[in-house]
Structure formats: C-alpha cells, structure tokens
Amino acid sequence: MMKINISQLKKDPGSTQSFSFKTSAGALGLDNPEIWVENMMVDGCIINKGMIYEVNGNIRATINQCCSRCLEDMVTILNIAFSEEYREAEFEKSGEALVQEINYFSGDEINLAELIRENILLAEPIKPVCSESCRGLCSECGVNLNINTCGCNSTKIDPRLAVLEKLLSKD
C-alpha cells in the first residue's frame, strides 16, 4: 500500500501524519526485480503546511550485485532519504503559475509509488565495488588480485612505442 490516506491530516493545518510500509521491486515496476531483496521498508511523515503537503522519509532496500572490479557477488544496503512537496490537483487547474518542484494529487490519498521508484533508481550504484580498496582482476590472466598475486608484467607499454623497447633489449 503506497497510497497514504490524508483525510484527517487535511482538516488540521500544521499537523503531521507518520507512515510505514513494505514494498517490493515488482510492485514498483523496477527492472531486474530478481536482484532486489524482497522487502523494502519505507517510513516517514507528511506535514500539512496549509496548501502544501511535505513528504519526508527514508527507504531501506537491499540489492544483490557483483563488484564491477573483481566480479565477486556482494550485497549493497541502500538507505535513501527523500523529501517532496505535494499539492491538491484542483490548485493546478487554477490560474496560478505552475511550480515544477511540486507534485499534485487528488482526493484524500497521496500515491508515493513514483516517488519511491524514482529515488531508488537514482540511488542504485552504477558501478558497485565491494570495497574502495578492491584491486580487481589482472588484465592479463584474470586472477582476482584481492585473493592471489600473479606473475604477469604489470608495466603497461604504449603499443605505439613498443618498437622502441627493442632498442633497450640486449639480444
């Protein structure tokens, strides 16, 4: 249930209403739902600021990924804070200038599905690493340098200058 009923909150400007619920990658329509650990926790509060409702909260999600350096499986825990403002849709139709940063809702419910989905997609690591000190894989033999060392030559020679290397050899 990502729709929050605010009928009581509407009656009392300045009041707050807290919420807490579980959701899943499938319910949010995320790509690759199989990499997300099933339950995502969302909690926060809605503040009635008169004509604007401020929604603040936190999303806790867990994702199974592989390190982009060493290709080992890893688990990433995301704690995503969010804050958005909502306004009733009837005010959107009035002659007021539209404010781009404000979302609109109608009736007594605010649907947080798109807000949650957007924040999760923005927080998902593009190139996850198991640790900042991860050494990755050897580009020559493919051994995981975090576990083993290899005898490969780690000195990179610019292929355009490889001919000059022959001058240095005493063969």
CB contact set of 153 (below 8 Å; sequence gap of 6+) = 140
Of 113, 118, 109, nearest in space to 80 by CA: 118
Alpha-carbon separation of residue 82 from 57, 101, 128 (angstroms): 5, 13, 22
* Prediction pTM value: 0.75
What's the one-letter identity of residue 45?
C
Q: Which parts of the chain sit beneath pLDDT 50?
A: 94-95, 97
CA distance 68 to 136: 8
User: At 25, is the secondary structure helix, strand, or coil?
Assistant: helix
pLDDT of residue 139: 85
Tallying the residues shown for the chain, one arrives at 171
Determine the Cα–Cα distance for residues 26 and 29; give it in Å rounded to an integer: 5
CA atoms within 13 A on the CB side of 26: 4
State the pLDDT at residue 91: 59
Rounded-to-10 torsion of CA 28, 33, 37, 42: -10
Q: Are strands 102-105 and 109-111 parallel, antiparallel or unpaired?
A: unpaired
On whether the CB atoms of residues 48 and 33 are closer than 8 A, the answer is no
19-61 pLDDT, tens digit per residue, is 999 998 888 888 887 888 878 999 999 999 988 899 999 999 9
Where do runs of H (alpha helix) occur along 13-130?
25-28, 89-92, 113-123
